[in-house]
Structure 1
Amino acid sequence: MPEELDAVIHAPARLRVVASLAALGRGDEVAFPKLRKLLDMTAGNLSTHLRKLEDAGYVRVTKTHEGRTPVTYLALTDNGRTAFADYQAALMDLLKGAQG
């Protein structure tokens, strides 16, 4: 029986977020507006999905200021990278089973 797919990652919008953040180098981060534009999501929708990923320990959210302007940076945590790799492996197992 294949592993269960991680429900936190499996939601389409969160899968897109995690895949985009996984494309960054380990330790790299992206500004919230850049990710929002890349994924073509509203700020509220992206925030909701990021909160769920942050609560699961998959995404690190860093709020800071550049001058007087608030800036939010996002990165995939090591746990998030592991969870995404596990998700990909479980999905591949599921697809292999569907072919057999």
Structure 2
Amino acid sequence: MLRGIEADGRARMPGGHLLTRESLDGFAADADLSAVGQPVLLMYGDAADDPEELMLARLAGERLPSLPAGSRLDVIPGADHTMEGHLDEVAERGLAWLERHCPA
């Protein structure tokens, strides 16, 4: 998919969604995150064979300072975009986040 974006400026994602260079650039630079009022947990993988996930994680890291204080980027070692094989860790991190930021 990343090759298609680099070559043609756009690519189709699984499910039919169109991803363009402009949409990625917009996410990286122009997204209005001012309405987000609570800390946000972002989770991405760092699988070397998933360049799209690596790119999205990098872009999320660049946008992290524009999110509310306490927001965090968690990188799941070895995970790709599906998080397959890492779902227990994703659930554990997500539940811990909810307990800390959304107590009952």
TM-score, with structure 2 as normaliser? 0.27
Larger RCO: Structure 1 or Structure 2 (Cα < 8 Å, ≥ 6 residues apart)?
1
> Which is helix-richer, 1 or 2?
1
The TM-score normalised by the length of structure 1 is 0.27
